[in-house]
Amino acid sequence: MAAGSAEGRGRAVALPRVDVRLLAGLALVAVSVAGVLSLWSAARTTAPVVVAARDIGSGAVIEEDDLALAEARLEGPLAELALPGAELGTALGRTATGSIHAGELVVRPDLGSGPAIGPGELAATIPVPDDGVYRRLRRGDVVAVMATSEPGRPESRTVALLERAVVYAVALESTRVSLGGSGDASEDGRPANVTLVIPRERAEAVAHALVNSELTLLLRPPEPVSGPPAGDGDRP
């Protein structure tokens, strides 16, 4: 009777055999699954970036309505060039250096600098007729403004309204119907109006001319870079 009890106790404490190879295989499978899930998660990681909400013509002043945010996963040089969503405000008021189509990424080289409206200055918008101004006029160009009163009449007279004015913005008018918003306004549009930076003291004269005269914009050459007079290098 005692022997039987001892044998029963021995069977009760006996442990099952563990297959080490099975455990190793399960561990490898778990590691593989974890790696796949990590890669899949990384592949799905995105960040907000700035894109064009609509077509932006070359030379246009970028406004808030021109921009939108989109989720994207970028790598390499493109990630360095793209504008993060947190920096959207830095694009406002900048000049588009080239055409940006709706939905395209706004990258840092797209953002150019341009003239600002300083103290004692105003911005005046001047409508221009068909083919009435240089088609490739851009922000930062310098123009002269001529005013013609009574155009087409014998008593008509033309005077120089502004000898020099800097172009602040150029609004283009599309001349081609495009499906899907893929038209390029810089190639298929003409200037519809031009905004100029003018001195405050000339604002009344410009406003009067806008109502009573026909204005003509004449493209001027860039201002020459000033340097020392010729021969200065020979002086002691």
Same domain, 145 and 190: yes
> Does residue 75 surpass a pLDDT of 90?
no
What phi, psi does 116 have (nearest 5°)? Answer: -120, 160
Give tens-digit pLDDT for 134-181.
888 888 889 999 999 998 889 899 999 999 999 988 888 754 433 333
Place of tokens 């000898």: 163
Q: What mean pLDDT comes out for the span 60-69?
A: 90
**19 burial via Cβ count (<10 Å: 0-12, 13-18, 19+):** exposed
> Does residue 55 surpass a pLDDT of 50?
yes
Domain membership flag for residue 82: yes
Strand partners, 112: 95
How far, rounded to the nearest angstrom, does the alpha carbon of residue 198 sit from its chain's CA centroid?
26
Total of domains in the chain: 2
Domain termination site, one of 90, 112, 134: 112
pTM beyond 0.95, yes or no: no
Domain termination site, one of 112, 131, 156: 112
Number of Cβ atoms within 10 Å of the Cβ of 214: 17
What range does the domain containing 83 cover?
47-112
> Does residue 5 surpass a pLDDT of 60?
no
Domain membership flag for residue 85: yes
Query: What is the sign, positive or negative, of the torsion defined by CA atoms of 4, 8, 10, 14?
Result: positive
| Separation of alpha carbons 226 and 30, rounded Å | 72
Same domain, 68 and 94: yes
Give me the helices (H) in the chain, please. 2-13, 20-43, 76-81, 185-188, 203-212
Nearest to 95 by CA among 182, 195, 168, 197: 168
Domain membership flag for residue 37: no
